[in-house]
Amino acid sequence: MYESVEGPQSQLIMERDNLIRSYFSLGLHYSEILSLLLIQHNIILSERQLKRILRRLNLTRRKNFSSFEEIFLFIEELLEGSGRFHGYRWIHLKCLQRGLVVKQETVRLLLKILDPTGVSTRRRRRLRRRDYFNKGPNYLWHMDGYDKLKPYGIAISGCIDGFSRYIIWLQASYTNNNPRIISGYYISAVESCGGCPRSVRSDLGTENRHVEQMQIFLRNNLESDDSLPPFIYGSSTHNQRIEAWWGILRKHNAQFWMDIFEDLKNEGKFSGTILDKALVQYCFLHLVQGQLDQVVQEWNSHKISSRNRRSPVGKPIIMYYTPEMYYARDYIVKSPEDAILSCREESLFPLVHCDQDVYELCQILSEENHYERPSTAYEATDLYIQLRNDILSML
């Protein structure tokens, strides 16, 4: 009866179905989808109802498997890029999010055939870190800058929730040292989350001063029964949540870009000048950000296994939005709209992520020579070399 409702409720059903499609595409299980629908959207469904809706939407993972050729070609495509650093579970999640229907075991066997060297390399164990404990989502955010791509002109800023390991933001720009840009990431996250965390931890860099002031301002009226300060400064070794995650980012994404830029350097096409860095930003930055967005989506919806009993086990998106399932609670501090607006006015949200003069010159050259906006790293490399040659010939 519910499925055949017409009129005003038909829009609600469409919105519900879109939510189910979205959560299903993230690779979430039935119980996880039902929990998110209930807690985040106040939609009550039984597992039987959910399965019926999934059948109607033609969404399945146990039948109507994708063709072997389609799966093979997709994995082969991934291995040509940063996917060559991924394990079979991550690749399987990528397949699901692409809309492919495939078993995890099939992906594992295909990787052994297509990338035997990578499989062997990933079997090596990492160093074990000390135990970490956090009360619940939004109790403590960890923020930091990632500088491995900085020699080439691309700076990354990230923030992770300590309890759930849910990525709050991951942004690439021409700098991660401008405090007003960093505070822009922070206040956008606060606006999206509906409030600020109980506390934020970062290193001692001056780029974090604006975030510190905003965090203190937004948490000013909170009556808390604990001694956790609004903002915590410390060394990078004590900011282990985000520091540990940078290693994951390098393995799954950053190393690919480091190799691309190092090749340009070795070929004499990148010398670290202001022009070269601006051209990298113009040609590559939107691709780097696109891949970072994809990494965030995949990470937040993959299952984390804990090496100690003090950290919860599960998918970051589930742990962050449904802490009740882990005997925890949300520590978000609700922030008034006028306070958020005041913070936004003190922040920067740049639309152009490279030198303005270089950007305008590249736009003119691209229009005159019919250069197309690159959609792959290799197209971006060709555009970078062409624009560099064009500009150097004019000097």
What pLDDT does residue 185 have?
98
- Per-residue pLDDT for 138 more than 70? yes
Percent share of the chain, pLDDT over 70: 85
What are the beta bridge partners of residue 158? 144, 170
Average the pLDDT over 160-173 and give the result: 96
Tell me how far apart the alpha carbons of residues 240 and 243 are, in angstroms, rounded to a whole number: 5
Counting Cα atoms < 13 Å in the Cβ hemisphere of 115 gives 25
Mind listing the pLDDT tens digit for each residue in 32-78? 889 889 888 999 999 999 989 988 988 876 666 767 677 777 777 77
User: For residue 302, what are the CA distances in angstroms to 41, 96, 117?
Assistant: 22, 11, 24
Q: What is the mean pLDDT of residues 279-301?
A: 96
Rounded CA-CA distance 223/121 in Å is 50
Enumerate the domain spans of the chain. 8-57, 68-124, 141-394
Give CA 135 to chain center in angstroms.
23
- Provide mean pLDDT across the span 126-132: 46
Q: What is the band of 127 on the pLDDT scale with cuts at 50, 70, 90?
A: very low
Give me the sign of the Cα torsion angle 50, 16, 193, 166.
Answer: positive
Give the mean pLDDT of 13-30: 86
What percent of the chain has a predicted confidence (pLDDT) above 90? 55
Q: Any bridge partners for residue 160, and if so which? A: 142, 167
Question: What mean pLDDT value characterizes the chain?
Answer: 86
Length of the chain measured in residues: 395
Q: What is the pLDDT of residue 316?
A: 95
Contacts 24+ apart (CB under 8 A), 108-116: 110/71, 110/72, 110/75, 111/75, 114/72, 114/75, 114/76, 114/79, 115/79, 115/84
Q: Which residue spans within the chain are E strands per DSSP?
A: 141-146, 155-161, 167-173, 195-196, 200-202, 231-233, 333-334
Q: In which band, very low, low, confident or very high, does the pLDDT at 284 lie, cut at 50, 70 and 90?
A: very high
pLDDT band at 330 (very low <50, low <70, confident <90, very high): very high
Q: What was the pLDDT predicted at 70? A: 76
Strand locations in 174-255 (E): 195-196, 200-202, 231-233
Given a cut of 90, whether residue 359 has pLDDT beyond it is: yes
| pLDDT confidence of residue 1 | 35
Q: Which residues contact 352 (CB under 8 A, 6 or more apart)?
A: 359
Is pLDDT of 353 > 80? Answer: yes
Residue 84's pLDDT is 63
Distances (CA, A) of 392 to 47, 71, 276, 277: 63, 44, 10, 14
278, burial (CB in 10 Å: exposed 0-12, middle 13-18, buried 19+): buried
Give the residue from 342, 332, 330, 334 showing the smallest Cα distance to 213.
Answer: 342
pLDDT at position 294: 92
Give the pLDDT score at 8: 64
Q: Which of 167, 198, 169, 162 is nearest to 183 (CA)?
A: 169
Query: Distance between CA atoms of 118 and 81, rounded to whole angstroms?
Result: 13
- Count other C-beta atoms under 10 Å from residue 127's C-beta: 6
